[in-house]
Structures are given as C-alpha cells and as structure tokens.
Structure 1
C-alpha cells in the first residue's frame, strides 16, 4: 500500500497513551504507533504530554482530565480546529473524538472517518448528532454497535486491539484466590453487582477502578460501605505493569455491566493474561468472550454464582489464544487500513 498521510484526532481528556484510564486514547495511540511502523506519515493531535512516534500536534499543554485549569470548553474546539485547519496536509483524518469534529468535516475536502467507540450506542445526544451526519463513514467496534445504530454508513467493523506484550500470559493465577473488578466505578459497569457476587459466593474481590467526578456519590454510598481492606478491597486506579499483574493473578474478571457494552477493552486484556471473564450478556460481551471457552456470559447474579463454580473448566491458554487471534494491535491496524482503502477508493 502506498504510504498515506493520516491525521489522527484523539481526545485530550487524558494523554496518549493513557497512564491508567482512557480507552479512546489507548486505541488512538496504539493505532498511530502501528501505522508509523508500517511506513505511513501520521500526525497525532492529542494532549501535550502524549508520547508517540507519530508527529505530535497539540494546543492543549496537558490533559484536561489531569489539570482543572484547562477548561475543555475552550481547549476542545481549539484542538479540533487545529486538526481541520491542516486538513489539506492529509489523505484522511481519523476522528476518535465523538461527534463534534463532524461539524467541521463539511468544511474540508479531506475524508473524515469516525470510530464510534460506543458513543452513539450509549449517549442520546451523540446518537442524535451522528444520525444528523449519517452519510459520513463510520467504524464500529462491535456487531452490537451496528445493531444498536443500524442507520449509519459503516465503512467497517474493527474490534479494539491491545498490545499483547503489555499483558503477558499467566498459566496459573495467584495462589491466594481473588476476583477482580477493573474499570470505571459506575453502576453502568456493574461494580455494585461485582460486590454482591463476591459477598454471595464468599470470594475475595479486588476493585481497581477509576472514580470519575460524577460517580463520587455512587462510590461513597454503594461501594465504600462494603470495603473492609480484606474481602472487599479497593486498590485504586491502576495502569501499566500493575494492571497486567492484577489481571493475570485473578481467578476471573467480573464485568457485570448494566447497560450494553460497546466493546470492553478490559475483557480482551484479561483474556490475554489467561484470565477468564464472567460478563453480563449485554451489548458486545458475548462477542468478545467465548461462553464456556474463555469465560461465562451470564444473564443475572444467580448465573454468575454458578459460573464461579465452573471456573475450573476454563483453559487459561485458550483465553490467551483468543486474544492473540482477535484482539492484537496488528489485527486492529490492518482492519483500519482496509477501512482507509475502502474510503479512499
């Protein structure tokens, strides 16, 4: 393929790659690195502390999620305008920043591809905005996303990828058994259900969670009363080697979401480490987790309790093989290159 000039528009809430939480930033950064490795000319529009082998362009010196003095109401439109002001330098702009950049897309000739990242599936305003620009090319991250918003013009389906080197395979979990909740502390992610499952089944639960400002009350009232420092323990927000260590050491990742899951990066990360997933059958969970092979897809807490008793049936090596076959960074990059070929004709 002839080298392309690609502008990747990432969020500025967190740096690229994110230190801990930041799934959209994770995908944008991993894609940029993979495209550079394949010889493409990539410009990454991201927060100023980002690290990349692509050309970094920024108007926001630090992530807005880390520095309260940087108001997104100012820096987000400046960030988007910076990318579209330079649209003529690119063969294609790849938008990972929800719907707002699409209001600029009609002002330039450069094709703009948008990865939905679940926004149209979960956010009514985003859905309304995307439908207004329904003829623009979109990329879904799961079949569930397409089924939820079938009216859009899909240029492809590309599941999210992970850097498998960052999630080494663990053939055996930690000898002191525990379940793990890892993600955003939110009722939508089912943290309260993970706690109830652990209490009902008599398991230890480690909670590694990002607590956003709008979920502080949920965490204070629905989570903190159960924390005892032993059986139910909050270990904070984790990233890097600590994230992989916790995932690999767990008997199972518990992901009992209460709203449809667009993809769930942590589901792929857990399987890469060899750890089975117990996930609620909403959205893409049944796509990402192979029921009975790499975990169990359940409909309620009773089924989740039963799944815990069946964890011994899961071959941890099968979990790793599924991650390698479906969720590698290389597979994701190739999927996006195919989308670019389709859009550019």
Structure 2
C-alpha cells in the first residue's frame, strides 16, 4: 500500500476514534445522603429510579451523613455528623478512600461543606451549648490539614451555621439558623459584611439555600414547609417560591437546582425528593418516591456525572496505528537507504 495513502487513512481513523467514536458517554446520576440509615444512595438523574447504594451503611464509620459534595478531584466528600469528621469516597465506585478531616480539629456538629475557588475546603461548625464557638473553618483542599477559622466564632452574631455558599459577588453567605438570618462575609478575608437576609417570623426558619440562575437566593424553610426567595443583590424578601406544603413538602432542609433548571427539594419527614418548576415554583412531581432504595431522612442532594473511560476500541486503534506506522516507516527507510550485502 502507498504509504502516504495509508497514513491519511490511518490518521483519519485515529482522529475519529479519539474524538469519541465508540467512547462511552458519561452517565449522570443523583446522590442523596440518607441520615437515618447512614448511607448515600444513587438515583437516575432523569427518572429518579433507584440505581444502587453508592456508599453502604456505616462505611468506615459513617454515622449521620449530612452534607455531601463532589470535590475538585471528582471524589465524594461526606460529613459524618456524629463522628465530627469528613470522609472521602471514590467518586465513581463509592469505595472508601480516607478520613479527610476528623475531630482532632474540634469540629462541632458540622452540617455543610464547600470547596472554594481558592482550592480550600470550608466546613461549618455548630455548637449548641457555646454560641461563641460557631464558626466556618478552612482546610487545605488537597490534604485536609486545618488552616484556621475563616469566619471567626460568633462573628456578626453567627449562631448555628447550617448552610454555606459563595455568591455571585464572590462573598461567603452563611445561614445562622438560631438567629434566623443569612449573614454575608468577605470571600477572601472572612470578615463580617452584613446581615444579608432575615426573617422576624418565628414560623419561618432558615436551613440550607442555593443561588438560582436568576441570581436570587432560594432558602429551605423546614418549619414552614416552604422555599422562600430573596433578592440576590439586596436580600429583600420576594415571595414564597414554593408555597407551604406544596406537593406534600414536609420539613425541607435543602433546595438545589438540577441540570434541567428545575428545583429539587428534600422532604425530610416524607423521605422523598420533590421537583418544582425552576421558573415558576409550581410542583412537577415526586422525583424520588418515599423510601425508594431505602431512603430514610434525606439531607443533601448532589447531581454528578461519571468520568468516561477511554474505550477499548480507542486504545487498540492507537496501539495498532502506532505500530503499523513504525513498520512502514522502517520499510520506507530501507527502500531509500538499502543495506549493502556485498
């Protein structure tokens, strides 16, 4: 075969292969922490069907999983609230890796966790007996080594840090559950800025929250069984985006927007995940029915994608193409510089 023709053909085949021909597509899923049976369950992200128990009950001491997150290394980080630790699991298999953070750093009742744009790992610490010990702690995002308190204990009146998130302005927003406020702190220094939002209604308690694509703040209200919406710039109350009890909502503690733009809310007391229209707040359906897959006390919801592996076809094509090209180049060299046998 003419070498130039073979090279063009082989290169085209290799290019098609490397661009994904026969390469498995990444499959999305939903991970939900189930606090009453100490596990993390996995569901289909489009249908809500149960897939498997991603992290088995009590895996390596998991006791009371609350906040969960996928880290920059694509692994799963889970707060084990009753052991005051953060455990790390393989993001593809759910296999235990290590204890990323433990109680040697005096964590108290950690509820939420976050990786910042600076690569650091942030963790809330809530102390019911000593309000002055309520803080947001910062750790090395790679090693888990404690750096220091990012938000100092009690700063700005912080009492009961429950949810944390960085806003579009780069600052850190923290739920102060026992003062019914959302406090704002400088995203680089941790210094207190202001009380961003608050409620004087004793029946309206703040739990975790999310920023929507519209820039507004959506807050889960477990006592009022609703999701309230606040202006993302001023902190002013807008409305009850999800009205009290809509779709059977009972004690929501977290509300997150999914890849489809809709709002997913854990209904803690009914052991289910409910879905609402992301623009209107109208109830769509019960995305994960009560107790499906053993769900018992859903606390945190994470949408994730598996990382695709290179396909066997791709690997074989690269290997074959490389070796054939080597042979042909060798033969071509021999024809240009023939060996003298005289």
| Structure-2-length-normalised TM-score | 0.26
Flag the structure with higher strand content.
Answer: 2
| Structure-1-length-normalised TM-score | 0.26
